Amino acid sequence: MMPILDIHAHYGVWQFPTQARNVDALDTYLQRFGIEKACFSSVEALTCNFVSGNARLFKDIEGHDRFLGYCTVNPNYVDESIAEMKKYMSKSRCFGLKVHSGYSQRPVNSAPMREILNASRRYGKPVLAHTWSPTDCAAIAEAAAEFATLKFIMGHMGGNDWRPALEAVEEILNVFLDPCCSYAERDKIREALDAVGPKRVVFGSDLMLLNPAFVAGMVVGSDLPERDKERILYTNAKEAFGL
Amino acid sequence: MANGTPIIDAHTLFGFWPSRKADLRPETLVALMKKNGIAKSLVVSATGILYDFLRGNDEALAFGRQSTDVFPLGTVDPKRHVGCAEEIDKRAEQGFKLFSFYPQHQGWPLDFLPFQKLLDKLAEKKLATMVYCGEPGAATLLARMSKGGASVILSGVSYGNLGEVLAVMKDHAQFMVESHMLNTPDGFEVLCGEVGAHRVVFGSLSPLKYLNSALMPLKAATLTDEEKAKILSGNIRRILSGEA
């Protein structure tokens, strides 16, 4: 199994039965699945309090070389989000900005989110945006066109309804596709590459929701040349984001 | 893989898929099986799921007769009601051991009297049932409907309903899990630790889904070879042999 750079992982508690709850347990998973580095957002920050969630994440991953963190923001709290970015975005341990339109109920092209994105430009770090519908995909396409200097990662590639995601960002070169999802439709990886080329699809595991091997299985099982699989699992994230 | 245990894929399909362009030809499935070391597969016809189960079961039977590596997986759409019980009788005589239900594709609720009658009939005949239970609450409902007597295999189990499924399995010994969506990082370990490896069967739903997405998590799981062997083939072999 080739090494992996994972740009989409979660730290904290999800409400399902699992044995892994802390950094050490997660580190064991990263090693088992050959993940060289993984970028985590705080579950607490996404689902509840983004300030305390960010604080716990960056405290707990300190000193763990495989772990990087996302600064999660909430567009319902613009000033506080900008303050969070000031706290974390310049840290070497901070990989980028995480936004989730589902939990915040604010699309990535909404006015408060655009204010946050505008403020984030100074940090030059990628934005991982959750997408789970064609509407989410259209929103990220619009935001990426407006903030052309930012690199956006389309988390879940639209979810179960993923084809509109490909159409939405085919021509928008600052959007990268992250296909992790419970729905492992065969051919979706090939179709993603057909749409955006081999350099704009990156690997996210969605750990601790999903098993990295489940998502890697989509890449390994895809009908693609080995060099393209390696690009998705590793090289693209290294080249695009300097991981 | 688990000391060379032959793998039986308990859930595959073939035919035509309308909601996206997908290569589900029988020869594609057989090629994928060979490439990934799958010795045998249970196959259901997409025609049977989406259009006409009478014709679909005929297709699955023909595929099974054409290829010794394939067993037919029966299906019935309870919405038709008339003729459904007779179809189960007919296919049981032809050697079908497992029937799979797809409410998510066919638009009926689990709490559906025509389905209840078929569930009861399959149990009476000691035939195993596989049912998609991907939504929270579905497994609980099915547990209330199942009267025991034969295995009931839950398909579509993922992080969203794993806890519920464990609760159901602890109270209902006939319940098992098919693994194609068992995608939590330690889902196999949790299931085996809580209810035992004898309650899980490997399925991939390939070629519609990536076979490797189902197989690689099991390969990577920290289970014993004996536990993996049960999941990969032992448990489904037990069901096909007519044991509960």
pLDDT per residue as tens digits for the range B201-212:
999 999 999 999
The whole-angstrom distance between A204's CA and the closest CA on chain B is: 14
Residue from the list B183, B185, B208 with its beta carbon closest to the beta carbon of A182: B183
Distance CA A107, CA B62 (A): 51
- Give the per-residue pLDDT at B2: 52
- Name chain B contacts of A18, Cβ cutoff 8 Å: 184-186, 190
CATH code assigned at A225: 3.20.20.140
Q: Phi/psi at A154 (nearest 5 deg)?
A: -90, 90
Q: pLDDT tier at B3 (50, 70, 90 boundaries)? A: low
Q: pLDDT of B23-59, one tens digit each?
A: 999 999 999 999 999 999 999 999 999 999 999 999 9
Mean per-residue pLDDT for B130-148?
Answer: 96
CB contacts of A33 in chain B (<8 Å) are 220
End-to-end alpha carbon distance in chain A: 19
| Closest to B231 in 3D by CA, of B185, B180, B183, B184 | B180
Of the candidates A201, A155, A152, A162, the one whose C-alpha atom is nearest the C-alpha of residue A180 is: A155
Chain B CB contacts of A220 under 8 Å are: 212, 216
Between CA A95 and CA A105 the distance in angstroms is 24
Domain harbouring B102, CATH code: 3.20.20.140
B114 within a domain of the structure (yes/no): yes
**How many separate domains does chain A show?**
1
DSSP-derived 3-state class of residue B94? coil
Residue B1 pLDDT level (bands cut at 50, 70, 90): low
Region of A126 on the Ramachandran plot (φ > 0 left; ψ -120 to 50 alpha; else beta): beta
> Quick check: B163 pLDDT over 60?
yes
* Cis, bond preceding A208 (omega within 30 deg of 0): yes
Contacts with B190 from chain A: Cβ below 8 Å: 17-19
Range of the domain at B135: 7-239
Judged by CB atoms closer than 8 Å, whether chains meet at B185 and A187 is answered as no
pLDDT band at B5 (very low <50, low <70, confident <90, very high): confident
> Interface pTM (ipTM) of the complex?
0.86
Nearest to B210 among A209, A210, A221 (CB): A221
Domain interval for residue A19? 4-241
SS3 B145: helix
pLDDT of residue B175: 98
Helix (H) or strand (E) holding B12, with range, is: strand B7-14
Mean pLDDT by 10 residues, chain A (243 residues): 92 86 89 96 95 97 96 97 98 97 94 98 97 96 97 96 93 97 93 97 95 96 96 98 94
Q: What is the dihedral sign for C-alpha B83, B89, B94, B97?
A: positive
DSSP state of B233: I
The residue among A57, A48, A41, A53 whose CA lies nearest residue A8 is: A41
Mean pLDDT of chain B: 95
Taking a C-beta distance cutoff of 8 angstroms, is the pair B133, B161 a contact? yes
For residue B134, is it within any domain? yes
The yes-or-no verdict on residue B145 having pLDDT over 80 is: yes
Q: How confident is the model at residue B200 (pLDDT cuts 50, 70, 90)?
A: very high
**Is A64 touching B (CB cutoff 8 A)?**
no
Given an 8 Å threshold on Cβ–Cβ distance, is B212 in contact with A220?
A: yes
CB contact under 8 A, A18 and B214: no
Residue B2 lies in a domain: no
Q: How far is A242 from chain B (nearest CA, A)?
A: 27
Binary contact (B217, A218; C-beta < 8 A): no
H or E element, residue B39: strand B38-45
Q: Specify the long-range contacts of residues B29-32, CB closer than 8 Å, at least 24 apart.
A: B29/B70, B29/B206, B29/B207, B30/B67, B30/B69, B30/B70, B32/B206, B32/B207, B32/B211
Chain B residues close to A182, C-beta within 8 Å: 158-160, 181, 183
Helix (H), strand (E) at residue A98: strand A94-99
User: Is B159's CB within 8 Å of A182's CB?
Assistant: yes
What per-residue confidence (pLDDT) applies to A20?
77
